[in-house]
Structure 1
Amino acid sequence: MPRYEQTVAHLKASGAVPYEEQEQMALVKWLQAKRIKHIHVANERMASVQYKKKLKALGTYAGFPDMMIFLPHRILYIEMKRASKSQSRVSKEQKEWIEFLNMLDEGCAMVVLWRRRSDRLRARTNEVAKITEQAKKLIIADFHTGKFSQRELAKKHNVSKTMVANLTKGLSPKNDHLVEAQVSLLSAQAILSIEEMTAVMTAAKDEIYNKGLVINATQLNLARITQHLDKNTKFEKVGVGDGVQNFEPVELNASDYKALQYAIDKASLTLGVNPRNSTQINNTNAQQSSETKIVIERKELKGE
């Protein structure tokens, strides 16, 4: 066991600035006590020029952070620096790595410069380690309602704003329209009679049921179309003599392919997987309506 005079705590108490490696050793002891997986990236080792060239060829790069700490849903990349700014600096390579790692998706990277931030790092590590998958889902679910700011989400779920920002990075609220629909429904319940509300709910359930039938039938039809295309055959009546006809497999022809493609396009519109065609149809309808209007106006001018 080390003597107190040799510890980081003694150095700080006496006003001395611990060396970077002493700070890192203290961090490692704390991580070990918390049983948090971590690893030191040894980029600063003393070695011959020849061996350094070998390390570079093996994929060692200057400036990569000193520590990697593995937490649930997150990896922390820690660049150790002495507490005194005059006795430490961040190199160009380190800044480039920090910028790159902070751009990674899913909040899998966070870089902390150590200068007197041990308490902040420990609090951050505890926060990330404690957050469960269910808590993460709840935060994202609330975010998708479009009714919470990052600050409000952080307060509601008792996490930091940075945590919320990392969890919702690259996301956009997708359920805000459902919230508005629910508001409309609840508002209607307050003003409509029981009979009217029952009629509304029944009509909505019937529409959902009918849509389900259409979608199921369309999917079944698509599956059968795919079978025809895979086998490149269809069944047609073929005369076998004496006025007798049998169904025999024949190859698909050009008109068959055209008919099947048309059926696929219609199915894609029904299933909502091909909005491009829907837009084209709407544009065509609008064009036809415009042409009809022009014809009517011309007839009016001629007095017909």
Structure 2
Amino acid sequence: MPLVRNDGWVTLHAEAGETGMGETPNSVLEPFAVSASEPHHQDLVLRPLTGTEVRAGGVVDSRTSAPCPPDVALTTDGQVTPGTAERVEVAVTARCADGLRGVDATVAVPTGWTVTPASADLGTVAAGTPETAVFQVTAPAGTDIGSFDLTATVGATSGAGFPSSVTAEVTVRTPLPPGQVWLSDQQWTGESNGWGRSRRTAATARTPAATATRCVSTGSPTTRVSAGPRCRSSRWTWAGGAPRSAPTSGVDDETGSNGSVVFEVWVDGVRKAQTGVLTGSGSLSRSPSTRPAASASNCA
């Protein structure tokens, strides 16, 4: 990838393609293969040319120092309990022998959440000796169940004097708020199912028990399943007792976007909520909170 001088501009020419290995029928191994049908990109960090390189017409001197941004990892235990501080760690690793200086880390949180400290000064990070910044992240009391993104940003300067800024992200979940219960934990007074039987904490009746607590929708994070019916058409009823109901509905992505479903919530013979048409490649749908006495849910 040569640097070429073009009327005062310096241009980086980069080409990518997939080829076979010379004189063999073998294809390029992953992760070196580039698909012709999928978009791809390459992240490159450039440095200014030195005076010597400019006078040489843009020919790069391989002995000249280059930018060397750090590796950054953001870790949690995956769950944040509202009102309780959660430990979050940002690990910074120097990738080059001359290390890093002026290393500073911050963590961005959702609106309304708090993070302490506001920033962490790690100072110097030597090669082969990663440093870790520790933060405490707190979600407001009353935060509903859901998934939220945290983003760490690390600024640093390499030993050769090149500044860099690197980010890392992680998704955390908040649990079911106190006082709320799963439909699967309630007494069902009746059920009918389009195929087989409805399952508690499972997406389908054939899901192995060991893996039955997760349902994945392509457009949404993995979520706990409270009741798993098989349409066409299914119905289950429960005795109520909870002051309110706010179901989240979705379709397992086992078959991608094939098929569709509409969920309804009925309270004492009155339909209180209805989703739009859902598929496995779509997002989850949260229905408005309703006040059930004796309730029924349908999918068709």
Q: What TM-score does the superposition give when structure 2 sets the normalisation length?
A: 0.24
Q: Which has the higher contact order (CA 8 A, sep 6+)?
A: 2
Larger strand fraction of residues = 2
